[in-house]
Structure 1
Amino acid sequence: MTELLPLDPDQLLTTTRSVRKRLDLERPVPLEIVEECLEVALQAPTGSNKQGWHWIVVTDPALRKSVADLYARSYRAYRDSPTYAGADDPSHSAQRQAQQARVGTSADYLADHMAEVPVLVIGAIHAGADLPASNQAGLWGSLLPAAWNLQLALRARGLGSAWTTLHLTYEKEVAEVLGIPPNVRQGVLLPVAWTKGTDFKPARREPLESVLHVNGW
């Protein structure tokens, strides 16, 4: 088993960040470590214990580039859209705008370098060709906790990842590239690499009281 960083549970939970610029694009990631982390991921809860998840681990450079190109195409469209959460949102404080600017620059970097990340992991789940028209919490709740488990396990071993979903604009095209059947739907794409340093800190968040509701809204 890979040696773990000396992090207590709260440190692990609060310092597992979306890592982009600090991903080491040069250092190979052994498949065995990814598999070790996926074993941890599979301990996550899943509705009715169906365990309908699937994990597509992409290490082949040509396949990584194909997926990365689709991601970058979707990212550029999002970056240029009015809905982009950029630093100039007048409803944000100056501090929040500065934080958003840093996130934007970091996201730009990842889109430019996604193909160079040693491992891409796509989390997917049996869902049928058409997603439910009503609330889909039960479906994605049986996949996304496992993806977070994977991120935590990676962080504990000195690797980083970034939660991304923009490739889903081209979900069918990605499925064709990787041979994913139509009844398996993708939920998240995690670029995975060793991190440059392990000294990550908790992110700045809005105060708890701004989102806390006790006994009703």
Structure 2
Amino acid sequence: MTELSAHEVLTTTRTVRRRLDLDRPVDLDLIRQALSTALQAPSGSNAQRWHFLVITDADQRAAIGEYYRRAAEAYFQTAESAGNQPHEDPNRQRTQQRVRNSSEHLAQNMGRVPVLVIPAIETPNVTELPAGNQSGLWGSILPAAWSYMLAARNLGLAAAWTTLHLKYEREVAELLGLPPTVHQAALIPTAHHTGDGFKPAPRQPLDEVLHLNRW
């Protein structure tokens, strides 16, 4: 495997759904390497209250996959779901439909993905998160979770950023034995990928989203 440049990693780390290899096992050492890189991410006050649950047990993966499928099928009925949002640009509309199709594929197969990674953050002595702005809390786990995906990409693995399972966060926490002070941030299915490599995705021109000095 040829190591990728930082630019290649940053521009080709895709949310991979349909091309996850459901049959090829993943060496746990690769997951450990990616997570070791993730631990270099920033953490508020350097508290490092992050945790990463790595689920490889077939029964547990199937159970989590079923919760994800239920949440996904409900989400697909909403106006916010990809494919349900009309776009004047036909290219954008086709892209959204592809996202919808691949999302449905992942929803049906989440429980078959070889490795499921759940990044979580601990709030000692606090079981209910405070109302209002929680950016400081989630800013201490989400960068690490994304760093994990970047590191996995560099190691030849593919992953997908998902959060729909959080509709059943308590049920998944009970399944995995999480204490009430540990809060899940995402569900990242990880596997080898089928087909060739990845290229940068089409994105809006920078000048459409860049605001210099004020809106």
- Report if TM-score (shorter chain) is over 0.5: yes
Check conservation: 2:82, 2:97, Cα contact below 8 A: no
The unaligned stretches of length 5 or more in structure 2 are: none
CA-CA distance at 1:196 after TM superposition: 1.3
AA aligned to 1:75 is A
Matched, 1:120 2:116: yes
- 1:85 offset after TM fit, Å? 3.0
For structure 1, the residue ranges without an aligned partner over 5 or more in a row are: none
1:50 aligned to which of 27, 47, 65? 47
**For 1:89, which of 73, 85, 91 is the aligned residue?**
85
Where does residue 138 of structure 1 map in the other structure?
A: 136
The structure-2 alpha-carbon separation of the partners of 1:9 and 1:62, relative to structure 1 and needing over 3 Å to count, comes to same
CA distance in 2, matches of 1:92, 1:178: 44
Partner amino acid for 2:189?
P
* Residue 209 (structure 1) shift: 1.0
Paired amino acid for 1:95: N
- Residue 196 of structure 1 aligns with an amino acid whose one-letter code is T
Is 1:70 aligned with 2:36?
no
Amino acid at match of 2:151: A
Alpha-carbon deviation of 1:198?
A: 4.5
1:152 corresponding residue in structure 2: 150
- Return closer, same or farther for 1:91/1:183 CA change in 2, 3 Å cut-off: same
Q: C-alpha displacement at 1:206, in angstroms?
A: 1.1
TM-score (norm 1): 0.95
**1:178 matches 2:169:** no
Q: Contact 2:79 / 2:85 at 8 angstroms: preserved in 1?
A: no
Q: How far apart in 1 are the matches of 2:177 and 2:149?
A: 24
* Match of residue 212 from structure 1: 210
Structure 1 residue 32 displacement after superposition = 1.4
Letter in 1 for 2:167: T
The Cα of 1:183 is off from its aligned counterpart by 0.5
1:92 is displaced (CA, Å) by 4.0
Identical residues among aligned pairs (%) = 52
Deviations 1:67-92 (A, max 9, x none): 00000000000001233231x53344
In the aligned structure 1, how far is the partner of 2:24 from the partner of 2:111? Answer: 14
Query: How far apart, CA to CA, are the structure 2 residues paired with 1:92 and 1:132?
Result: 40
Give the distance between the partners of 1:166 and 1:5, measured in 2 at CA: 34
Moved over 2 A (4+): 88-92
Q: Distance in 2 between matches of 1:216 and 1:177?
A: 47
Answer yes or no: is the 8 Å Cα contact 1:5–1:157 preserved in 2.
no
Work out the CA distance in 2 between the residues paired with 1:89 and 1:79: 11
Q: CA RMSD in A?
A: 1.2
Q: 1:158–1:198: 8 Å Cα contact kept in structure 2?
A: no
Q: How many residues align?
A: 213
